[in-house]
Amino acid sequence: MKKLLALLLVAAMSISMVACGGSASSSAASSEAGSEAASSEAASSDVKIGVCIYQFADNFMTLYRNDIKADLEALGYKEGTNFTMVDGANDQAKQTEQIDSFIAEGVDVLIVNLVQSTSASTIIEKAKAADIPVVFINREPTAEDLALYDKCCYVGADARQSGTFQGEIIAATENKGDFNGNGTVDYAMIMGDPENVDAQYRTEYSIKALEDAGLKVNKLYEQRADWDQTKGQENAANVLSQFNDEVDVIFCNNDAMAMGALQAIEAAGRKVGEDIYLVGVDALEEAVQAVAAGRMTGTVLNDDVSQAQTAVDAAVRYLKGEANDKNYTIDYVKVTPENAADYIK
Ligand code: BGC
């Protein structure tokens, strides 16, 4: 019965490969190479891939995990049979248990979005002892941690770049981020989880970009809102009631928090572009719409589609017994009213 299924799968895969054989783009070429590997893997053995997501409720990671699922399915892998995705519920102890179970089950490769980047070494040691390769995504382990095991790598984006782009978007505005004309960019920073390098770098580099553009800055407020829309809204409401017209810019480390901040800005009767600026990161659909409509100053594309494809390609290379580079970095892209239409899905 198993053999019959395997044969049917091979037949289905070769039909689908013939169907997409004419495509010339390089990403199609790389996923074709991937699907070749996967078809033989999926057909010849019971490949098992464990995918650990730090928190299903995260807006950006929801897009990302749906991309991973679609990419794996496009390669012929079936959820429940060849891959399983688990929700770490923002709890590292829980995620570590999930990884222990995947290891006990004998998965062939792990794709891991850590809850806490600082747990990378523990996870790497466990995987190494079981000889299971690991592709880390989204939350970056240190170079030191990655060096502990030849079969682990990281797929992500350089958060410094996203912060720099946020600052550059503000520096490029007509009044250079200074509505009240006091010669200073008076800003509030609404942060993601500060344990996460994405939050640290975006906070630092957005302001550095303003300073590099020769602007004076004044931090009015900086609080964590843990990547969360409701907390973003609450923090922005605090900022506006505490500082009112003094605030020129609200920087948010991600779009979920920026969407919350936008609610607070509009509820306070303020108008983005007229008396305040607002920037985020991710280019969530809602945020891109807001940028296109002038309700948000800008955002930065965090390319979930390319990151997911790159992570799946890396996992497939491990399945084939091939090596990966230590780091795969996907570029961020600035999204402003000029190009927002290109990023509406
Ligand atoms: C994204 C955030 C997300 C976080 C999760 C970041 O890269 O910009 O939206 O909450 O990753 O780790």
Nearest ligand 1 atom to the CA of 156 is: 7
Q: Does the beta carbon of 227 sit less than 6 angstroms from any atom of ligand 1? A: yes
How do residues 132-161 score in pLDDT, each as one tens digit? 999 999 999 999 999 999 999 999 999 999
Ligand 1 pocket mutation, candidates 52, 55, 56, 58, criterion most atoms within 8 A of CB: 58
Q: Residues 34-55: what's their mean pLDDT? A: 70
Closest CA to 41 of 72, 70, 67, 68: 72
**Ligand 1 centroid from CA 78, angstroms:** 27
Nearest ligand 1 atom to the CA of 139 is: 12
Mean pLDDT (the chain) is 90
DSSP β-bridge partners for residue 83: 49, 79
User: What is this structure's pTM?
Assistant: 0.87
Q: Does the beta carbon of 58 sit less than 6 angstroms from any atom of ligand 1? A: yes
Distance, in Å, from the CA atom of 217 to the CA atom of 325, rounded to the nearest integer, reads 39
Share of the chain above pLDDT 90, in %: 86
Q: Does the beta carbon of 302 sit less than 6 angstroms from any atom of ligand 1? A: yes
Q: How far is CA 161 from each of CA 151, 170, 190, 281, 301, rounded to the nearest angstrom?
A: 27, 14, 18, 11, 11
Q: Is the pLDDT of residue 82 over 80?
A: yes
Q: Is the pLDDT of residue 35 over 60?
A: no
**Ligand 1 centroid from CA 141, angstroms:** 15
Q: Does the beta carbon of 138 sit less than 6 angstroms from any atom of ligand 1? A: yes
Q: Does the beta carbon of 282 sit less than 6 angstroms from any atom of ligand 1? A: yes
**Ligand 1 centroid from CA 58, angstroms:** 8
Q: Is the pLDDT of residue 311 over 60?
A: yes
**Ligand 1 centroid from CA 70, angstroms:** 20
Q: Does the beta carbon of 60 sit less than 6 angstroms from any atom of ligand 1? A: yes
How do residues 315-327 score in pLDDT, each as one tens digit? 999 999 999 999 9
Contact 212, 160 (CB under 8 A): no
Cβ neighbour number for residue 27 with a 10 Å cutoff: 13
What band does 1 get if pLDDT is binned at 50, 70 and 90?
very low
Nearest ligand 1 atom to the CA of 54 is: 12
Q: Does the beta carbon of 198 sit less than 6 angstroms from any atom of ligand 1? A: yes
**Ligand 1 centroid from CA 61, angstroms:** 7
Q: Residues 13-42: what's their mean pLDDT? A: 41
**Ligand 1 centroid from CA 98, angstroms:** 21
Q: Does the beta carbon of 303 sit less than 6 angstroms from any atom of ligand 1? A: no
Position 15 scores a pLDDT of: 37
**Ligand 1 centroid from CA 94, angstroms:** 20
Contact 111, 89 (CB under 8 A): no
Ligand 1 pocket mutation, candidates 52, 53, 54, 61, criterion most atoms within 8 A of CB: 61
Nearest ligand 1 atom to the CA of 282 is: 8
Q: How far is CA 21 from each of CA 13, 24, 42, 227, rounded to the nearest angstrom?
A: 12, 8, 20, 41
How do residues 255-290 score in pLDDT, each as one tens digit? 999 999 999 999 999 999 999 999 999 999 999 999
Q: Does the beta carbon of 61 sit less than 6 angstroms from any atom of ligand 1? A: yes
Q: Does the beta carbon of 162 sit less than 6 angstroms from any atom of ligand 1? A: no
Contact 88, 53 (CB under 8 A): yes
Nearest ligand 1 atom to the CA of 253 is: 8
Position 268 scores a pLDDT of: 96
Q: Is the pLDDT of residue 339 over 50?
A: yes
Q: Is the pLDDT of residue 7 over 70?
A: no
Strand (E) or helix (H) holding 221: strand 217-224
Q: Is the pLDDT of residue 23 over 90?
A: no
- 248 in helix, strand or coil? coil
Position 45 scores a pLDDT of: 66
